[in-house]
Amino acid sequence: MTSSSTSDPADRRLILLTAVLFLSYLCIAMPLPIVPVFVTAQLGYDNVWAGLGVGIAFVSTLASRGIAGSFSDRRGANLAMRRGLLFYIAGALIALVAGVMTATPLAAYGVLLGGRLLIGLGESLVTVSVVSWGVGMVGPARSSRVLALMGAAMYGALAVGGPIGVILLDRLGFAAAMAISAVLPALGLLITWRMPAVPAHPDAERPSFFSVIGRIWWHGAIVGLQGIGFAAIGAFFVLYFRDQHWAYAGLGLTAFGGGFVLVRILFGHLPDRFGGVPVAIVSLGVEIFGQILIWTAPHPGFALAGAFLTGLGCSMVFPAMGREVMRLVEPHLRGTALGGFAAFQDIAYGLTGPIAGLVADRSGYGSVYLIGAIGAVLGFLMAVSLHRAGKARVGGGPGPN
């Protein structure tokens, strides 16, 4: 970043907001690879229940996207983000309680699900509001930069949070890991307390949430299909490595996040320069190869390389399609549109856990990544169709609007 850009107060606040998102998102990243281990190894349940333990947070996020987006638009992105951070803290503390209830596995699992639901609600508020807050700071013309920075913060947190979570689980136990993850969003809450707000739109006329979805659903479906590969890595990569008796199980999310952040830093400007759909097409092609490499990996190096390629491929799909979505709606609907757009990714994350767990029980962990490859192929074909039809410029897709 140039010195002129960093001297802009809006840019400085955007960087600070990005840092807060990174810090608080560790509350999502640290539990992601260790919840399945806790459910299977300490509570004694199978992979389907382990997948549900991960995926139910995304179900909660999905169910609240419309409300979170509308709240951010009407009451202000700053207030929405702070409430989301409070839900992060509460969810982590409830999961901590589950960690000390292992003598009663069924009760512990129920408490864990309750904490995960609150985490998902917090994620809905935080991820929608932080983008609205950032775009309000620097303007819609730079929306893809905001999306790229926020994604880099989130997946950078995943890159370091995954191995941190595994280390904490092995050395201190699940409850201690959850206690530490509760502290991080509390720090983010303190940092953002005095950050200047951006204008809310309490009185603007609003179409229904489903009307907004009708304008963006094709772009959202592409993002959702892309998300299957990441969800498979997040939920089952550690279990896959342990089943194969491979070392470095905690590095799956690190490899994914490293590739993800690298592309965001080096190529985050490409959607603004070349358009969102062409960037998404190339990205999905890379993800396909990454998922196939994990599926067919003969040893851990190949699997980690596949996770890295998946991160490279997944990196730009959300900001590329998000750029198109931001061009389709009025300023007072940005939060609502972003909430609906992100909901498609939530669907992928929420369904992948239990479905992939069922597949893993029957066909082995490697087959989970075949599902991820198929999802990326379908997203690639949809993006190619969208590009050929020229619909990215007018806001629809090949199909009903």
In tens, the pLDDT along 144-162 reads 678 778 877 887 787 788 8
CA–CA distance, 319 with 222 (Å, rounded to integer)? 12
More confident residue, 41 or 211: 41
41-55, 98-112, 370-384: which has the minimum mean pLDDT?
A: 41-55
CATH of 3-191+208-393, picked from 3.40.190.10, 3.40.640.10, 1.20.1250.20, 1.10.540.10, is: 1.20.1250.20
Q: Identify the pLDDT of residue 302.
A: 93
Q: Average pLDDT, stretch 210-215? A: 76
Residues in the chain: 401
Q: Identify the pLDDT of residue 393.
A: 47
Does residue 198 contact residue 137 with C-beta atoms inside 8 Å? yes
Q: Identify the pLDDT of residue 319.
A: 84
| Closest C-alpha to 61, from 92, 26, 99, 88 | 88
Q: Identify the pLDDT of residue 197.
A: 63
CA–CA distance, 134 with 314 (Å, rounded to integer)? 22
Does residue 77 contact residue 150 with C-beta atoms inside 8 Å? no
Q: Identify the pLDDT of residue 65.
A: 77
Give 196's DSSP letter: P
Model's pTM, two decimal places? 0.71
Does residue 68 contact residue 124 with C-beta atoms inside 8 Å? yes
Indicate whether 196 pLDDT > 60: yes
CA–CA distance, 102 with 116 (Å, rounded to integer)? 17
Q: Identify the pLDDT of residue 5.
A: 47
SS3 345: helix
Indicate whether 328 pLDDT > 80: no
Residue with tokens 């905001």: 146
Indicate whether 252 pLDDT > 80: yes
Q: Identify the pLDDT of residue 394.
A: 43
Mean pLDDT of the chain: 83
Does residue 291 contact residue 372 with C-beta atoms inside 8 Å? yes
SS3 224: helix
More confident residue, 364 or 284: 284
In tens, the pLDDT along 50-62 reads 888 887 887 788 7
Indicate whether 329 pLDDT > 80: no
Indicate whether 386 pLDDT > 70: yes
In tens, the pLDDT along 339-359 reads 778 778 778 877 887 888 888
For residue 381, the one-letter residue type is L
Retrieve residue 381's tokens.
């074909």
